Homo-oligomer: A and B are copies of this chain.
């Protein structure tokens, strides 16, 4: 990505965890904003952000950070979005754009939109990127290239505002796609939220085994279990908010999953090898599609892949 003129004069980041800090570094690297104002309500986190030189100014007061900002990016856990919107409403400059990075989008609209004054543009966003780490010290500029960011503006939103947010994410190296909040939440329920819920469950099931077995679960984790623990290592507060906010879509897809699992369970109990083999062969074909779509992990050492 060649650096052109900055897209923004002043960007305010409210919340400076993994996504906020990665965005700060990526904006800096690609020259996307003349000034980056960093705000978080935790003094130690703010001190860490300042030590890491993530921004140009630092404050515990979100209202102060957004004053004069062209773009405000709310990077807090989703449960805090409403309170943040309320605290900044009177300090937003006319024509400012507000976006966020939350994993559920219908609630962003519900929690943030009512607080914004006329003339301020809401462009909800979700960069589908992350690691198992959290906090400002986990951020890195290379988090976004090759990943997708989904924007969910309403059809009435100012096209120029949507375009600027798109250019921000593209400037960070991300691909951008636009869809409705409801569609986003349905797609993410199956691609992200259900997998995480299942992974959390299986890790917890193992954690409740007898002590001796538990030790061996760790020791022999390379046989499949390990992959689940990586998925189940995200920030607990963020994931709590995901399931609280995308409840309906998650429960719907969980219902389908339970049906399918029950069918496999019955096949195992009855010794129906044909049903098992057919299902497993179908799943393998899906894996091939993902490799064809270049959304796999290309550089895992072969011996470290999932084992039998």
Contacts and interface: CB of A to CB of B under 8 A. Distances in A.
Interface of A: 79, 103, 128-132, 140, 142-148, 150, 186-188, 190-209, 213, 216-234, 236-244, 247, 250-251, 253-254, 256-258, 260-261, 264-265, 267-269, 271, 273, 276-284, 286-287, 289-290, 293, 295-308
Contacts of A129: 222, 303, 307-308
Contacts of A278: 236
A209 B260 CA distance: 12
Nearest to A194: B202
A23 B150 CA distance: 46
Given A186-B213, A198-B198, A226-B297, A204 B260 contact: yes
Given A305-B230, A308-B103, A280 B240 contact: yes
Stoichiometry, as copies per complex, reads: 2
The 4 A-B residue pairs whose C-beta atoms are closest, nearest first, are A192-B223, A195-B224, A236-B280, A130-B307
Contact of A201 (B148, B223, B260, B277): B260
Contacts of A280: 200, 232, 234, 236, 239-240
B186 A289 contact: no
A195 B220 CA distance: 13
B293 A218 contact: yes
A303 B141 CA distance: 10
B303 A300 contact: no
Contacts of A241: 273
Given A129-B307, A190-B206, A232 B200 contact: no
B308 A200 contact: no
Nearest to A281: B236
A192 B232 contact: no
